[in-house]
Amino acid sequence: MGICEQLASYVWRASWDTISPEARGKMRQHILDSLGCAIGALSTGVVAQLAADEIELRASGPCSLVAGGKTTPERAAFHNALLVQALQFGDTFIAAGEVCQPSDNLAGLLAAAELTAAPGREFLAALTVAYHIYCRLAASGVPVAGKGFAPTIQLAISLACGMSRVLGLSEHQTAHAIALCAAGGLTVASPKNSSSAESRGLASANTAFQCIHYVRLAQKGIQGPLDVFEGHRGLEHLLGKPFGIDWDNETYDAILACSMRRFNADFHAQSVIEAILELRGEHRFTAADVQGLQVDIFQAAYDRMGGTQKPVRTRQDAERSLPYLMSVALLDGEVGPAQFELRRIQGEDVQTLLRNVTVWLSQAYTARYPDNLHCKVRAGLKDGRIFETEKSDYPGFFRRPAPVEQLIEKFKQLGRLSASDRSVQNVIEAVARLEQRPITELCTALREIRPESAMSSGSAAA
């Protein structure tokens, strides 16, 4: 069999019972985390306007919009995927040369599952399979990013597999759905220093839109190029290396290697922010006491966020600046969506402090990546004292899972940005019951979120 057929067989061997209890529990946590990001994004900048337009202009259809009505499967997949990505606060999988957000699978599979009123267990199984495929492709050593492409190719393949499962395609149809989606999945990556949160979110949202369309075409008998991987000028030829995955012997547990972010910042900055906040809390100093900050960091973080001192004036700048993230963490005691508002970024206090941050590259810490996010942070005070701490991870890193209470609190904090407490609690309860209930129960809870109720109650309280 070719790779498309092997993947199709792998997808249809899976069931909720073949997935380990550890992976099942973590899957529900990732769903809650991703939905929290989506709800929190409803009041965020350009994305909020796009979401409002989508709700206002919705077509009739069977699939739910977060905080809106119903629309077509394609539009629902696009809208909800855009929200999941918007805050750049979601889960992350890292491998040598690749950084991906497997939660990009959620919105597309949610639309497909609602279209067929799938049982929650079937949705959970399909999403776990999609996560595994996405992560294994990213970890295969095929240089997708190295060739200048975005991780939408891995996403297109994993979406095809998960959607085919919940839509009830046959194994033969699934192979053709994979072929169609894989053939259309390559997206040129934006230069890393010019890619905004909105543009990155649009790429994955557009992939979700496209894939559910292709999968439904395959369900109706449209055939794709089954040799899209290994054929002449296929993906493996284009990318320069075969994926080399033995799908006959794969498990479904890659979600256990996925991390969730504690702070609303680039994944590579999570341990640094954790270190800053620990020093701040333990030694009780403030930004006014600080002469300078220094961090030793691994190569990937240095290249993405700290290699040169650049002006930080926009959200795009702030997202990719360790000096800004360290400074705002010390000043505010947190890094959340509020720390990326333009007035906060351009505040005199943070602009002054970030100019006193030095970022050093550590070869020793680089050798430990991606199994660790090692860093050393030093704070030099004006009175001559120096405090330092080292971190190799943070609560939420795959080697150090976050307590459930922390995940729920993150969800509630994000939810309160855009929704009422009752709406937020309804989603929490629907996710908790998902294994025993149809997917439509969760979709209803998401559709019935009312952002304006949160704003009204906040205004009344003020």
Instruction: Give the number of C-alpha atoms closer than 13 A to the C-alpha of residue 281, restricted to the C-beta side.
Output: 9
Interstrand relation of 63-64 and 290-297 (parallel, antiparallel or unpaired): unpaired
pLDDT at residue 271 above 80? yes
Interstrand relation of 70-71 and 93-95 (parallel, antiparallel or unpaired): unpaired
Helix (H, G, I), strand (E, B) or coil at 138: helix
Q: What is the DSSP string of 328-390?
A: HHHHHS--SGGGGSHHHHT-HHHHHHHTTEEEEE-HHHHHHTTT---EEEEEEETTS-EEEEE
Looking at residue 198, its pLDDT comes to 62
CB 10, CB 248: distance < 8 Å:
yes
Rounded-to-integer distance, Cα 310 and Cα 417, Å: 30
Rounded-to-integer distance, Cα 419 and Cα 446, Å: 11
Q: Cis peptide before 403, with omega less than 30 degrees from 0?
A: no
Residue 225: CB atoms within 10 A of its CB come to 15
CB 82, CB 45: distance < 8 Å:
no
Looking at residue 53, its pLDDT comes to 72
Rounded-to-integer distance, Cα 109 and Cα 133, Å: 14
Interstrand relation of 290-297 and 357-361 (parallel, antiparallel or unpaired): parallel
Residue 229 amino acid letter? F
Interstrand relation of 357-361 and 93-95 (parallel, antiparallel or unpaired): unpaired
Model confidence band, residue 194 (pLDDT cutoffs 50, 70, 90) = very low
* pTM for the structure as a whole: 0.93
Token match 């996010």: residue?
373
Question: Which residues lie closer than 8 Å to 284 by C-beta, 6 or more apart?
Answer: none
CB 38, CB 84: distance < 8 Å:
yes
Handedness of CA 398, 404, 408, 413 (dihedral sign): negative
How many residues in the chain? 462
Work out the mean pLDDT of the chain and round it to a whole number: 91
Rounded-to-integer distance, Cα 235 and Cα 224, Å: 14
Convert the pLDDT of each residue in 333-377 to its tens digit: 999 999 999 999 999 999 999 999 999 999 999 999 999 999 999
CB 450, CB 438: distance < 8 Å:
no
Q: In angstroms, how far is CA 94 from the centroid of its own chain?
A: 12
Cα–Cα distances in angstroms (integers) from residue 169 to residues 18, 130, 173, 211, 219, in the given order:
20, 15, 6, 14, 6
Cα–Cα distances in angstroms (integers) from residue 316 to residues 30, 39, 104, 189, 261, in the given order:
26, 21, 20, 16, 18
Convert the pLDDT of each residue in 140-186 to its tens digit: 999 998 888 888 999 999 999 999 999 999 999 999 999 999 998 77
Convert the pLDDT of each residue in 410-434 to its tens digit: 999 999 988 999 999 999 999 999 9
Model confidence band, residue 455 (pLDDT cutoffs 50, 70, 90) = very low
* Helix residue ranges, H only, 14-44: 21-40
Rounded-to-integer distance, Cα 209 and Cα 197, Å: 18
